[in-house]
Chain A
C-alpha cells in the first residue's frame, strides 16, 4: 500500500500518539494481568438507569433531540448544579448536553481560541487537553504542579506562565491522574490573577462527586468567576456511565451559544438513549451513586496505605479513583518501572509521564478494582520493589 501520510494535515501529523495507547498494546498482549491501569469505574451502570434506557427504546425514543439536549434533562442538570455547586444556570440557554465532557472540551476550545492563543493546563493531567488545544490551533502551556503541594495549582505558577496571548485556563479537579483536589481557599488564591488577566476558565468537574473528605467546590461559585467559567460535568464517573458518552457544559449564554453552533453542525445532538438514561440518573440515582462513592473510599484507603507501606510514597488522594505514587526509590523511569512490573509481575499501572512530563517518576494506580485484586496487586508490587531496591 502506498503511504498516504502526505495527505494528513500537519496539525494532526504532529500530534504525539498517546503514551497510554502504547502501553495499552503492551498490556493487551499479556495474559492474566491484574490491571490498575483502568480509567473508569469497575461498577456497571446501575440497573435502574439501564432499564430506563430500555424503556425509552421500547417506547420509540430513537429520534434526534434539540441541539441543546432534551429540555427535561437540561432542567435536571440545572437543578443538579444548583444543588451540587450552588450555581444557577438556565436550562434554556446556559446548559448544553454533549457527547461526554470530551466533546464539551473540544467545542469550548474551538469556540474560544484564535490561532496562537495560549491555554494554561496544570499538569499532570488527563491526556486530551493539550491535543484539543492544538487541534483548535491554540498553544498549550503546561503549568507544573508538585507533589509537595499535593498537586494543587499554586498562584505563583499561574502568574508566571501568563503572557499577552493567554486566553484560557483549564482546571480539572478532582484530578486524573493525581487524585488532587482544589479546595475553596486554593481556588480563591487564583481568582484575582484570572480576573486581572481576563482569562476564561474551563472547569472539568467530571470527578466532582468522587470527593472524599470535603464536598467539591467549583470555581464558578466564587465572586467574579460566574461569567468567565464554563463548568463541565457528566455521568461517566459518578454514575458509572463511561460508555454512554454523555456529559454537559454550563456557562454564560454567549459562550454556551458559541459552543452550540459548533455542536449543532458537527454532532447535532447527544444520543437520545443516553440522554434518557441520564435523566433517570439525576432523578433517582443518588442512593446508588453514594454507595459507589463509599466503596471507592474504602478501596482508596487500602491502595494509599498499601503503596506507602511498600515505600512507593504518595499523598492521600482526596478525589477521583487514583493514587499517584512516587517510584523514586527504585531509581527507574516510570516507563521502565511500568513495563518491568507488567512483564515480571503481570500488574498493569500507567506510567506517570503519559499525563505530562511532570508525571515522570510516578505511576498511576487506579483503585476502581476489587479488594481482592487490589490486595493481590499490592503484594506483587511489593515483591517487585523489594527485588529492585
Chain B
C-alpha cells in the first residue's frame, strides 16, 4: 500500500512522470510500476490525467461561479439523486455535498455571465428538489490544487555555490 500511495502522490503532483522515472525514484521494478498504474486506472482510483490551465493567460474570457444550493433530500437516496441530476449538466464542473448552512456546492463554468445566469435560472433553480441558490462568481484564482497561479517559479539561487 505504501508504494501504491507514493505512486499516486507522485502522479498527482506530476502526471507526466514516466513509469521508468517513478520506478527509479522508488527503487522499484519498472514493470511493477506500469502494472500498478494500469490497475489503478482500471479500478478508477486514477480517473484521468489533465493539465492545470491558467485560462487568464489565454484569450478565453469565460466565467466560473460557485453556487450554494439548498435542496430537499429524498427518502432512501438522500442527496444522491438530486446531485446526479445536477452533475449531469455539462456546464457543471464539480459538485460537492456540504455540511453547514447549505447542501451542495456546484461549480459552474460558462463563456459569459449570461451563460451562467441562464443555467441557474433555467436549469438549476427549476429542478424539483432545489429550494434555493446563491451564486458567487469567482473573480480571481490565486491557488488551485497546491499550485499558486502566476507565481514566479524562477530559480533564485546562485547558479554555482559551494
Report A's interface with B, CB cutoff 8 A: 18, 20, 23-24, 27-28, 33, 35, 37-40, 42, 126-128, 176, 298-299, 301-302, 305-306, 348, 350, 354, 371, 375
Contacts and interface: CB of A to CB of B under 8 A. Distances in A.
Interface string B144-161: 000000000001011111
Interface of B: 10, 14, 17, 21, 24-27, 155, 157-162
B161 A38 contact: yes
Given A38-B157, A42-B155, A371-B17, A301 B25 contact: yes
Residue among B17, B26, B159 with most chain A CB within 10 A: B159
B26 A37 contact: no
A315 B10 CA distance: 26
Contacts of A27: 159-160
Contacts of B158: 24, 38
A371 B21 contact: yes
A42 B153 CA distance: 11
A281 to B, nearest CB: 19
Contact of A18 (B17, B26, B162): B162
A299 B25 contact: yes
B103 to A, nearest CB: 34
B27 A301 contact: yes
Given A20-B160, A24-B161, A40-B157, 18 more contacts: A20-B161, A24-B158, A24-B159, A28-B159, A33-B159, A35-B157, A37-B161, A38-B161, A39-B161, A40-B161, A176-B162, A298-B26, A301-B27, A302-B24, A305-B24, A350-B160, A371-B17, A371-B25
B157 A128 contact: no
A375 B160 CA distance: 19
A37 B159 contact: yes
A126 B162 contact: yes
Contact of A35 (B24, B25, B159): B159
A300 B27 CA distance: 11
B152 to A, nearest CB: 11
17 contacts: A18-B162, A20-B161, A24-B160, A33-B159, A35-B155, A35-B157, A38-B158, A38-B160, A38-B161, A40-B157, A42-B155, A298-B25, A301-B26, A302-B21, A302-B25, A371-B21, A371-B25
Contacts of B26: 298, 301
B21 A128 contact: no
